[in-house]
Amino acid sequence: MKRSHEPIFWSLFGAGGVLSALVAPILIFITGIIAPIGVWMPPQALDYSRVLGFAQHWFGKVLLLAVISLFLFHAVHRIYHGLHDIGVHAGTGAMVAAYGSALLGTLVAAYLLLAIGF
Amino acid sequence: MAKIKSYVRPMQGWWRRNPYFVRYMIRESSSVFLAIYAVILLVGLLRLTQGAAAWDGWLAALASPGSIVFHWLALLAVGYHAYTWWKVAPKTAPDIHIGGQPLPELVITGGGWLATLGASILVYVIVRWM
């Protein structure tokens, strides 16, 4: 019997589901709403030097990579399987495009986190 | 040969026929918002590597009205994902037995919601004061 790759993608989907259920709402609320409008969050919270320091710390790198990569893998898994629900019977090409774009996003994030220094 | 079973039930708009399916589609659509948000963060990381001016440009883009509207919608959709993720956790999580008894569903779901609340407070405190 041909082995399925589904367990790998489901694991990434599950990990992304847990991480996004834990922190995605607060992250969206902070970076997308309260910091830009300056309510409940001082403008200097997202200062260049402060965020740069976070991205240069090894723990900051791990958190940023986990958030970007796992959010992407979670999302593309749902989008890929959701295509069927909206009447698009996607084949292998769509599957490669979906998981490939999440992998590409992960590699780009990893590259940028290395390029930004320590 | 007689033509049999030629009727295919139309599936157009299937999910609008039942509130359960509507909620399912709202939950699944949260992934589109999550993907876009991840790309926004990735662009932010790219701008961060390009220096202070580029980073400030990214922050300015986030303050545009269109961006604020998008993030409110994303917050609603992804918040609903967080709610449902823990709601189904008793069915998706591994079986946990304590003293021969399965962990009650309310403990798993409620624990998940509390974990989201705790993580949210923690992230807020770190971003604001640390």
Q: Delimit the domains of chain B by residue range.
A: 15-81, 88-130
Pick the CATH number of B15-81 from 3.40.50.300, 1.20.1300.10, 3.40.50.720, 3.40.640.10: 1.20.1300.10
Check residue A100 and give its pLDDT: 97
| CA distance, residue A11 to nearest chain B CA (Å) | 12
**The token pair that represents B75 in the structure block:** 């917050």
Tens of pLDDT, residue by residue, chain B (130 residues): 566 788 888 888 888 989 999 999 999 999 999 999 999 999 999 999 999 999 999 999 999 999 999 999 999 999 999 999 999 999 988 888 888 888 889 999 999 999 999 999 999 999 999 7
Probe site for chain B from A9, A12, A29 (most B CB atoms < 10 A) = A29
Q: Is A25 in contact with B116 (Cβ distance < 8 A)?
A: yes
Fold of A6-115: 3 helical TM bundles of succinate and fumarate reductases (1.20.1300)
Q: Are strands B97-98 and B101-102 parallel, antiparallel or unpaired?
A: antiparallel
- Ramachandran assignment for A43, one of left (phi > 0), alpha (psi -120 to 50 degrees), beta (any other): alpha
Residue A61 near residue A110 (C-beta atoms within 8 A): no
B24 by Cβ neighbours in 10 Å (0-12 / 13-18 / 19+) ranks as middle
Check residue A1 and give its pLDDT: 63
